[in-house]
Structure 1
Amino acid sequence: MANETGLFIYGIVPSDVEPTPDAKGVGDPPGEVTAVRHGDIAALVSEVGLEEPVGRPADLTAYQELLDGTAAVAPVLPVRFGTVVTGPDAVVDLLDAHQDRFADALDEFEGKIQYILHGRYDEQAVIGAVLAENPAAADLAAQVRGQPEDATREHRIRLGEIISQAVELRREADNAELVQALSAVSVANAIRPPSGELDSVHAAFLVEADREAEFVDAAEEFAGPRRQLMRIRLLGPLAPYDFVSAHQLAE
């Protein structure tokens, strides 16, 4: 019995978008990326075995690279990773059911790209800043310094709580400053939840493509005076993952 196949959907695009011959999809070996068209919109898809596990790091990389590459030349609505339907007819049904909504969304994202700023505090620097600003924390740190852990357990727990709370407040303040600094060179923003205790700023920005250089300059200006306290990465340009929740499929 032949293995059954389905279509993995990457994103929704205008109908005139044509996948490049070297575009690689998910799977092992990677599937050929094609477009299923319906009216003014289309879906980028590739064939996958219905029994084939999809979710390897290589699959996620292929998904992101295809969408980010597409976003560089055309508007694209990312579809939630792992969305698989039975075949072209199912894709057409999906496009037909949401045609107006998808078309309006594509118009909304025309000429726009996403960037992400993700920062991580230097542990020693942020602890030093907390101790400098909080006399109670500084006093606790002095009491436990050089002392056995067992004998100072309660003090260490309390100190850890104070530092954790202070870092959380600093993170909120830094994210607010980031949004304020970049709001004039972006059209929308979305604060992302921290992925770790030492996360600092973490936000996505929707940027007009013709203001990309201006945005990058503003991001570098924000990062400059904060380099001793945190390390910030600028990721992009990307597909607008953080701004298409109202248009995503398979909720």
Structure 2
Amino acid sequence: MPAPPARSSLYVYALTDPATAGHARRCPAVGDQGASVTVLVQDDLAAVVSPAAERPRARRRDLRAHQDVLNALLAHGPVLPMRFGMIAADEEAVRADMSARRAQNLSALARVAGRAEWNVKGESVPEALPELLREDAGLRALRASTRQRPGYEADVRLGQAIAAALQRRAEAAARDVVAHLDALAVDVRVGGAVAGGALNSSFLVAQSDEAPFRRAVQALAERHRGRIALTVTGPLPCYSFVGGDAVPAGQ
């Protein structure tokens, strides 16, 4: 079992610019409830950190504290967010990494300045079976055959065929959704597969386009009602668009 971080270790929330960093000082810190969120300034970069007396666990309170710090920063400037649980050995390690990767970090901050991440997920709609049957003659024939010769295997084949058909409809709708939302985004990243899902994509959206983006999602949800159920989450720190952890000094 790895040893816990030493007292001098730091929990790292994000990199940002010095002016933005100060807006997180009043946020509760991850882990030790008596710890304070502080800022390490290195030239034109700032790391938002707090003491890490022990390795953090993914408790609800700590997950919320991590996200609250990022939200406070995002409301005031560009942010390179860290994933929950990033620990740096000490202040010197953080400063050394900021110096070594200064150009890369400044470029990433410039890329996300005035922008935020919006995640759109989509799932197939099982309630759309009646509409699916009206559209799919092959599926209607399979259901009729199953009713004429009922049995476990026939029921399984029918269930699988229905699930596959619903998924195909949802995936076709998802392609249309992404094509339309792409026009309102600076960049798009495809996320990992979600059980039962047909769409999991993140969009880098300028603040000036956030309202049109939300309206477009609503319009597309209505357009594809019965084919895909859409959910949108944002604005979020730009996890998907910063190329991984900006300070690779974690343990």
Normalised by the length of structure 2, the TM-score is: 0.85
Equivalent position SS for 1:73? coil
Question: 2: distance between equivalents of 1:171 and 1:132?
Answer: 16
Give the structure 1 partner of residue 36 of structure 2. Answer: 32
Give the structure 1 partner of residue 232 of structure 2. Answer: 234
Give the structure 1 partner of residue 104 of structure 2. Answer: 101
Give the structure 2 partner of residue 63 of structure 1. Answer: 66
Amino acid at match of 1:186: A
Instruction: Report which stretch shifted further, 41-50 or 57-66.
Output: 57-66
Per the TM alignment, residue 146 of structure 1 is displaced from its structure 2 partner at its CA by 9.8
Amino acid at match of 2:236: L
**In the TM superposition, what whole-angstrom CA distance separates every residue of 1:151-197 from its partner, at most 9, and x where no partner exists?**
62222222233233333433332221111111221111122233221
Cα gap change, 1:20 to 1:244, in 2 (>3 Å): closer
> Over aligned residue pairs, what C-alpha RMSD do you find?
2.5
> In the TM superposition, what are the counterparts of 1:1-251 in structure 2 within 5 Å?
4-5=6-7, 6-17=9-20, 18-29=22-33, 31-50=35-54, 52-125=55-128, 127-145=129-147, 152-197=151-196, 199-246=197-244, 248-250=246-248
Normalised by the length of structure 1, the TM-score is: 0.85
Note if contact 1:122-1:228 (Cα within 8 Å) is conserved in structure 2. Answer: yes
Question: 2: distance between equivalents of 1:144 and 1:31?
Answer: 65
Identical positions, percent:
28
Per the TM alignment, residue 40 of structure 1 is displaced from its structure 2 partner at its CA by 0.8
Question: 2: distance between equivalents of 1:142 and 1:30?
Answer: 67
**In the TM superposition, what whole-angstrom CA distance separates every residue of 1:61-95 from its partner, at most 9, and x where no partner exists?**
22223213312211011123211012211111121
Note if contact 1:80-1:249 (Cα within 8 Å) is conserved in structure 2. Answer: no
Equivalent position SS for 1:237? strand
- Specify every segment of 5 or more residues in structure 1 that has no aligned partner in the other structure, as ranges: none
Question: 1: distance between equivalents of 2:107 and 2:157?
Answer: 53
Amino acid at match of 2:216: A
Per the TM alignment, residue 9 of structure 1 is displaced from its structure 2 partner at its CA by 0.8
Amino acid at match of 1:24: P
Per the TM alignment, residue 215 of structure 1 is displaced from its structure 2 partner at its CA by 1.6
Count of matched residue pairs: 243
Instruction: Report which stretch shifted further, 156-165 or 105-114.
Output: 156-165
Equivalent position SS for 1:49? coil
